[in-house]
Amino acid sequence: MDNINNKLKELKIEEFIWIMYIGIIALSFYSNSLEKKYFLFKDICSKKKYRKTLIIIFSILIVVYLYFLKDSYDSLKELKPTDSNSKQKLTYLAFIASLLIAISGFIFLYVAYNDQDIDVELAFN
């Protein structure tokens, strides 16, 4: 019963994360419109808002990525020697993938924060 409650709690958190992704999508549309306005009209105010919006987006994403990294690490710690080789391998690979995604989030945030001239195109999935 306790295992079911934990899984339901995890699913509730993941539902909240999906709502956060909807917010990120909305912020991304707004960010693109600011970027377009800057490039078309050289509007410095739009440039500043664009950079701030990118920083907000990637800050939120890092929180999400760190949640999934922790969840993946917890799954790795819960592995038992009796678990199948396939389960052990896939759990380990999922952890590596989560780690790499978290690292990419930090790199994107660093670029967004330091690219004063908006010279680098940032793309994320």
Rounded to 10 degrees, the C-alpha dihedral 10/106/60/92 comes to: -10
- pLDDT score at 58: 95
Count how many domains the chain has.
1
Residue 84 forms part of a structural domain: yes
Position 26 pLDDT exceeds 60: yes
Other Cβ atoms less than 10 A from the Cβ of 104: the count is 16
Per-residue confidence at 124, pLDDT binned at 50, 70, 90? low
Query: Domain range spanning residue 101?
Result: 2-114
Is the pTM higher than 0.75? The answer reads: yes
Long-range pairs for 111-115 at CB < 8 Å and ≥24 separation?
A: 112/51, 112/54, 112/55, 112/57, 112/58, 113/55, 115/51
State the average pLDDT for the chain.
93
Residue 122 forms part of a structural domain: no
- pLDDT score at 125: 44
Cα gap 125→111, rounded to integer Å: 16
Cα gap 90→47, rounded to integer Å: 43
Residue 120 forms part of a structural domain: no
Average pLDDT over residues 52-78: 96
Residue 54 forms part of a structural domain: yes
Residue 119 forms part of a structural domain: no
